[in-house]
Structure 1
């Protein structure tokens, strides 16, 4: 089997379909035919809300398959952190509190790179920073993991913001495609459509 065939088989084995019986999450949609409202629910068995004064209906079938996500890849995409940023975050969570120099020594990274990522992780709410008095005088910044429940909330809401932006981008692309086909009923959609939309 060629490398290309092997890669394609691996990609297909990584694909997943929405399974409403898994209990991991649920997708609901508005029961009104001309309404596009769709919501994702994690950690609840009850319909999250109503739409048009009617309970939203649980989606039970979806033909499309998607590539199964990897937790590192999700964090890379959602929070814009390269692998080095994740390594630094996991180092502090596992070994902290640590100073930037201690993290750099443990991971073999440049101290300025570590400091930059630590500051980003603090801004994202994934780590916290405090000052520690040195025995010989002076203070040094050290980094700690945040409260587990706080991290859960921050990462989940942060991901929802990213997913919302991604969903809005897909919706904009679909509406642009509809407009093009409406204005050019005799033409096929050009192969470069998605590239031109991305450039816009």
Structure 2
């Protein structure tokens, strides 16, 4: 089954095995990459919650906090904690994680009565989408490297085997 031309697809370089993701045909090693077929697969479509948890290590609580900032505009940790009923330390930790992703902006504001407070404002939806997309692609690159390392470790273990003893044991839950 071939996806529509404007749909994001996967591509693979036939020379080096590099992987590309996009809506047009990328090149690698001086040649156009080959589109991969993704018809029947053992992998199920992830939910948004699964995607955010797996790729971004974002919990349900953090998603709640993110959505509240997106809807509420500029908020402090104290105001957000009171609004959603979470402990301030939990809210602060999650807001700092979201700021590191670039999903919310963290700014220090000097208070008229002295001291300072951090305020968090949402980024525009298109910025959030792009930041999450960039982080996802980084995650894919790192995950692909892990798979390559796994394959390399197995090949090296086979090559280093000096006896006929079994090198791996398959463990199954009883």
> CA 1:61/1:120 → structure 2, altered by over 3 Å: closer, same or farther?
closer
Instruction: Provide the rounded CA distance (Å) in 1 between the counterparts of 2:13 and 2:142.
Output: 20
Normalised by the size of structure 1, how large is the TM-score?
0.71
Residue 40 of structure 1 pairs with residue 21 of structure 2: yes
CA deviation vs aligned residue, 1:92-120 (integer Å, no higher than 9, x gap): 11122222112111221111211122122
Q: CA deviation at 1:57?
A: 1.5
Normalised by the size of structure 2, how large is the TM-score?
0.81
Find the counterpart in structure 1 of residue 47 from structure 2: 70
Find the counterpart in structure 2 of residue 21 from structure 1: 3
Residue 180 of structure 1 pairs with residue 157 of structure 2: yes
Cα RMSD of the aligned pairs, angstroms, is 2.6
Find the counterpart in structure 2 of residue 54 from structure 1: 31
Q: CA deviation at 1:25?
A: 1.9
> CA 1:175/1:74 → structure 2, altered by over 3 Å: closer, same or farther?
same
Instruction: Provide the rounded CA distance (Å) in 2 between the counterparts of 1:62 and 1:187.
Output: 39
Q: Which among 109, 115, 122 is matched to residue 145 of structure 1?
A: 122
Task: Please list every run of at least 4 consecutive aligned residues from structure 1 whose deviation after the TM superposition is greater than 3 angstroms.
Answer: 61-64, 130-134, 136-140, 182-189
Q: Superposition pairs for residues 87-98 of structure 1, below 5 Å?
A: 87-98=64-75
> Structure 1 stretches of 5 or more lacking a match?
1-18, 194-200
Q: CA deviation at 1:122?
A: 1.2
Q: CA deviation at 1:59?
A: 1.6
Q: CA deviation at 1:131?
A: 4.9
Instruction: Provide the rounded CA distance (Å) in 2 between the counterparts of 1:188 and 1:39.
Output: 37
Alignment check: 8 A CA contact 1:181 1:187 kept: no
